[in-house]
């Protein structure tokens, strides 16, 4: 998987290591909408370098961590968790056994998957009856989609050719795969930083925007996403949505 290898994968890991609490609200989203239980087998899709994987593995019986980039997964291996199984595959190429997962979780990854129909067939096969599918991602027409299409696509080391979501397509995919009609919620996430300059550095690294500067990343983010100061922290708006469905 060329897109998330080399400089892109390294800068991604670096951003999360340098600002380990910037994305705390994302963890709250996972706890609220996935609500994992300690007797469950969970499959994570597009896990990247494992931002959720360590925490999630402590909350469940078994966690299968999948991503098409083996470089991203190396970091998850280093967590040394006994109940984590690594699978190098995209949502569309997963080849896991049928009816083995109580829940599937994915955050900020499915817009990279260009065969969502195949991915949803895989999800429907892998989920147990009543198993949950919880996908948080970027929706077409949102300020976040504007940020990615205007700034990240121009300045990211690898480009950013993606397929964002619509409510209608999420519903169609569930319908076609035999999953329940999804419930879709707005996520008014804010990523938090001590200084404004940190926001530029974080965005520069997490999106590998090596064709511009951290200062320009900050400027773009202020214009498009908006930054609010609350309790001495600079909060960057990160508007996503989450869809929740179930296997019938």
- Does 203 bind ligand SAM (CB under 6 A)? Our answer is no
- Does 191 bind ligand SAM (CB under 6 A)? Our answer is no
**Tell me, what DSSP letter sits at residue 47?**
-
As to burial, measured by CB atoms within 10 angstroms (0-12 exposed, 13-18 middle, 19+ buried), residue 116 is buried
Least separation in angstroms between CB 45 and ligand SAM: 5
The helix/strand/coil state of 217 is helix
- Does 68 bind ligand SAM (CB under 6 A)? Our answer is yes
Measured between alpha carbons, how far is 50 from 72 in angstroms, rounded to an integer? 8
Q: Figure out which of the listed residues 90, 131, 182, 239 binds ligand SAM, where binding follows CB under 6 A.
A: 90
Measured between alpha carbons, how far is 69 from 45 in angstroms, rounded to an integer? 11
- Does 108 bind ligand SAM (CB under 6 A)? Our answer is yes
Least separation in angstroms between CB 110 and ligand SAM: 6
C-beta neighbour count of 34 within 10 angstroms: 26
Pairing of strands 41-45, 62-67: parallel
Q: Figure out which of the listed residues 107, 155, 193, 238 binds ligand SAM, where binding follows CB under 6 A.
A: 107
Least separation in angstroms between CB 186 and ligand SAM: 18
- Does 46 bind ligand SAM (CB under 6 A)? Our answer is yes
Sequential DSSP letters for 3-26: TTSHHHHHHHHHHHHH-TTTTHHH
Q: Site for ligand SAM (CB under 6 A): how many residues?
A: 19
72 vs 142, beta carbon nearer ligand SAM = 72
- Does 126 bind ligand SAM (CB under 6 A)? Our answer is no
Residues that bind ligand SAM (CB under 6 A): 1, 4, 45-48, 51, 67-69, 72, 90-92, 107-109, 112-113
């Amino acid at each position: 998987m060329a897109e998330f290898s080399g400089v892109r994968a390294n800068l991604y890991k670096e951003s999360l290591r340098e600002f380990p609490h910037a994305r705390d609200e994302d963890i709250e989203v996972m706890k609220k909408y996935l609500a994992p239980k300690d007797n469950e087998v969970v499959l994570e899709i597009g896990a990247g370098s494992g931002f959720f994987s360590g925490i999630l593995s402590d909350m469940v019986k078994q966690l299968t961590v999948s991503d098409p980039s083996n470089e991203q997964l190396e970091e998850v291996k280093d967590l040394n968790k006994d109940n984590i199984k690594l699978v190098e595959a995209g949502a569309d190429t997963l080849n896991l056994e049928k009816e083995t997962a109580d829940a599937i979780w994915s955050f900020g990854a499915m817009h990279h998957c260009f065969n969502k129909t195949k991915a949803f067939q895989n999800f429907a096969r892998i989920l147990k009856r009543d198993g949950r599918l919880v996908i948080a991602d970027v929706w077409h027409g949102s300020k976040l989609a504007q940020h990615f299409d205007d700034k990240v696509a121009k300045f990211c080391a690898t480009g950013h050719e993606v397929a964002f979501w619509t409510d209608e397509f999420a519903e169609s995919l569930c319908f076609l795969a035999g999953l329940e009609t999804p419930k879709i919620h707005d996520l008014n996430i804010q990523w938090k930083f001590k200084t404004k300059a940190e926001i530029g550095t974080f965005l520069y690294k997490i999106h590998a925007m090596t064709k511009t500067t951290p200062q320009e990343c900050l400027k773009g983010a202020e214009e498009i996403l908006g930054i609010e100061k609350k309790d001495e922290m600079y909060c960057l708006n990160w508007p996503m949505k989450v869809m929740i469905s179930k296997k019938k």
